[in-house]
Structure 1
Amino acid sequence: MTVLLETRKLTRSFGGIRAVDGVDFTLEAGEIRALIGPNGAGKTTFVSLICGRVPVESGSIIFEGRDITHLPAHKRVRLGIAYTFQITSIFPNLTVRENVELAGMREGHEAQIALDVLTRVGLAHIAEQKAGDLAYGHQRLVEIAMGLALNPRLLILDEPTQGLSTAEVEAFISLIRQVAKSTTILLIEHNMQVVMELAHRITVMERGRILAEGTPEEIRSNQAVQQAYLGA
């Protein structure tokens, strides 16, 4: 397998507290990786460092063999890193199609891909509806479509199933399996059903550090993870 993303001793502090504390992390191309851990474990800060929303204090980030540690966020998008938090602000008065077109146009991608992307996420039939009129679950899918419009090499999703119904969660799982055929996925998720069904490997964070990594089966049976996170 080819290493897509690597962090080395990645560190970031806020007010004297190390939110991310010397994290070494490797993500392979084509992987679905879940990032889990209790609230305050450092997950969102970690992916914010990767996408450039938060500046690195120390350590390095390597993407496809290139050091991007100090690269601005918009240039990381152009390299193929899409983070839903950067592009989830839908424009409620624009149509679904216009939202997706706008996301693609921001980084110079062809707007014509909008309908193809909306077909992939199952929203082509409501392409001309105002995004603000959609149910919450459909708005979440619009956000994912906006990310896919960037044609990313890496798609980072932060709590994408939050607020979704059971049926919508099942549809999301099917969607991500399809997306993963051409895009590497890094997924922050609290829904353990989603994590266990989707992830090839799981990284568990606690107090800014990596507590454990492994397959879903390995993580499920890891005693340290059970004590720290899974409630056993």
Structure 2
Amino acid sequence: MASVTLLKTKGLTRHFGGLKAVNEVDFEIREGEIRALIGPNGAGKTTFVSLLSGRIAPSAGSIEFLGRDITKDPAHKRVRDGIAYTFQITSIYPGLTAFENVALSVQSAQRRAPKPAGLSARDLLHRKTRDALERVGLGERAGDLAGTMSYGHQRLLEVAMGLALEPRLLILDEPTQGLSDGEIENFCALVKEIARSATVLLIEHNMPVVMQLADSITVLDHGELLANGTPEEIRANKTVQAVYLGAD
């Protein structure tokens, strides 16, 4: 595992009125790792990653990405800098085909990357879009309208859209929700392949998936950091068992 710190937070906080959704969380993820973020419903996981991606602003605290303070950067700038976030609820364009959805992400990535010599922008767009769809197993569904696809396939399409952005950090929020057992197995293989070129932050309730994929795990509870550790350490943690794992 690489030792470079990719992203870190210090005292990251978000309050909604009297609700402490995220409260003074210090967090660090290193380049090249697969980190899982787990916790009970209402633990603050989605609020936390929404803070990381810039979808909402913190009440207090700071966020650094590759050593630069991005706390006040808007979401679109964080995407350009290399942070991609697939939502817990699908955020596809239902009236466009799968190909067209992914092509929009490819176009966004192309704006910040030099074009290889000898390849037209159109050819590059087509190739990268097809590659992203093939990686998630949707190559044969490129022409399908996104809105007519099954929920599980829509989740995979959203992952393809995230991959097409060529991120340094890919945040996956409940990606196996709606997937069949066979699709989950393929997804796990995909995440391992993604981790060769990007860091992955995985928010997931499926504990067998978490234990199979994660290099390390962070546990949140009531908006606060409860534990960090390897899968083995988290599985053996009595506090985590009482708060979360023991309830499964």
TM-score by length of 1: 0.96
Q: What is the CA distance between 1:86 and its match in structure 2?
A: 9.3
Structural mapping, 1:70-149, within 5 Å? 70-85=72-87, 88-106=90-108, 108=111, 111-112=125-126, 113-149=128-164
What is the alpha-carbon distance in structure 1 between the residues aligned to residue 43 and residue 201 of structure 2? 16
State the partner residue of 2:70: 68
Deviations 1:155-214 (A, max 9, x none): 001111112111111111111111111010001100001100000000000111111110
8 Å CA contact 1:88, 1:146 repeated in 2: no
What is the alpha-carbon distance in structure 2 between the residues aligned to residue 87 and residue 45 of structure 1? 13
Deviates more, 1:107-116 or 1:66-75: 107-116
What is the alpha-carbon distance in structure 2 between the residues aligned to residue 76 and residue 91 of structure 1? 21
Q: What is the CA distance between 1:87 and its match in structure 2?
A: 9.7
8 Å CA contact 2:44, 2:221 repeated in 1: yes
State the partner residue of 2:119: none
8 Å CA contact 2:88, 2:173 repeated in 1: no
State the partner residue of 2:33: 31
Q: What is the CA distance between 1:123 and its match in structure 2?
A: 1.3
Deviates more, 1:83-92 or 1:67-76: 83-92
Q: What is the CA distance between 1:133 and its match in structure 2?
A: 2.2
Q: What is the CA distance between 1:135 and its match in structure 2?
A: 1.9
SS of structure 2 residue aligned to 1:111: helix
**Among residues 173, 189, 202, which one is paired with 1:174 in the alignment?**
189
SS of structure 1 residue aligned to 2:50: helix
TM-score by length of 2: 0.90
State the partner residue of 2:116: none
Cα 1:193–1:86 shift into 2, 3 Å: closer
State the partner residue of 1:224: 239
Report the aligned-residue RMSD: 1.6
State the partner residue of 1:162: 177
Structure 2, unaligned runs of 5 or more: 113-123
SS of structure 1 residue aligned to 2:125: coil
Deviations 1:118-162 (A, max 9, x none): 121121122122222222221111000000111000000111111
What is the alpha-carbon distance in structure 2 between the residues aligned to residue 214 and residue 231 of structure 1? 17
8 Å CA contact 2:88, 2:174 repeated in 1: no
Q: What is the CA distance between 1:32 and its match in structure 2?
A: 0.4
Paired residue type of 2:158: E
What is the alpha-carbon distance in structure 2 between the residues aligned to residue 211 and residue 189 of structure 1? 16
What is the alpha-carbon distance in structure 1 between the residues aligned to residue 244 and residue 8 of structure 2? 25
Deviates more, 1:175-184 or 1:77-86: 77-86
8 Å CA contact 2:85, 2:162 repeated in 1: yes
Q: What is the CA distance between 1:90 and its match in structure 2?
A: 1.5
| Deviation beyond 4 Å, 4+ runs, structure 1 | none
8 Å CA contact 1:200, 1:216 repeated in 2: yes
8 Å CA contact 2:37, 2:204 repeated in 1: yes
Paired residue type of 1:121: V
What is the alpha-carbon distance in structure 2 between the residues aligned to residue 133 and residue 50 of structure 1? 31
What is the alpha-carbon distance in structure 2 between the residues aligned to residue 148 and residue 68 of structure 1? 22
Cα 1:84–1:169 shift into 2, 3 Å: same
Paired residue type of 1:20: V
